[in-house]
Chain A
């Protein structure tokens, strides 16, 4: 299976996972600290999807030094979003 097809399937699976988590929170299946952890997991899945698009779709996996740079910037940004979410 070609790399972009694996990436596509991975992206679909992660999108389904984040939607399922959101539904669980919205319908009260996850409450309190579990709801907060669910939100953190949704952001973590978003970070994983963004990494996959950069590396597979935009082909940064062919440029290891740039992949590391983009990966670091994206990870720091995801941490900023997580911090703002947890503060809310």
Chain B
């Protein structure tokens, strides 16, 4: 007798990478909800603190990361189709954009430090450094993972590495508006 199909049979990629993705989304999701919860106690202070952030740089970083995700998706498709060289080039492009994201983020941190703004300056900046720092750590992990899976160019591994990269992308499209844009 045939086994009943599970919804998880349709899951794109390995179940374990999805367990990782959901775990990470829960952590970042809780962080952003806590941020908005604490903001209720001091909306004016949070708005004043937010004015120290580089909205334009963060906007550029959003374009950079979303474009990196697009290149990674094209890379995974190319490897799956057996076009390994093309896939590697797309994944290399995604990695370079990931490094650019980190460079822009480092410049932002440098400017904040030069202005004397640290993790204890205000509750806003405690969340800001924790959430964006943890996210940047994931970007750094991604720019190690992407070249590794690109070098071997095995479809299953590339799919897992690229799924991790999309998770990093997904987290940023939530972090960016909540921390940088909401007034």
Beyond A19-B55, A22-B180, A42-B182, is A58–B166 a contact (Cβ under 8 Å)? Answer: yes
Beyond A7-B70, A46-B173, is A81–B181 a contact (Cβ under 8 Å)? Answer: no
- Nearest B residue to A67 by beta-carbon distance? B10
Chain A: interface residue count, which band?
35 or more
Q: Is the CB of B174 within 8 A of A46?
A: yes
Interface SS of A by simple majority: helix
A residues lining the B interface (CB < 8 Å):
2, 4-5, 7-8, 11-12, 15, 18-19, 21-23, 25-26, 35, 38-39, 42-43, 45-46, 49-50, 53-54, 56-60, 62-66, 69, 77, 80-81, 84-85, 87-88
B residues lining the A interface (CB < 8 Å):
7-8, 10-13, 21, 29, 32-33, 36-37, 39-40, 43, 46, 51, 55, 59, 62-63, 66-67, 69-70, 73-74, 77, 163, 166-167, 169-170, 173-174, 176-178, 180-183
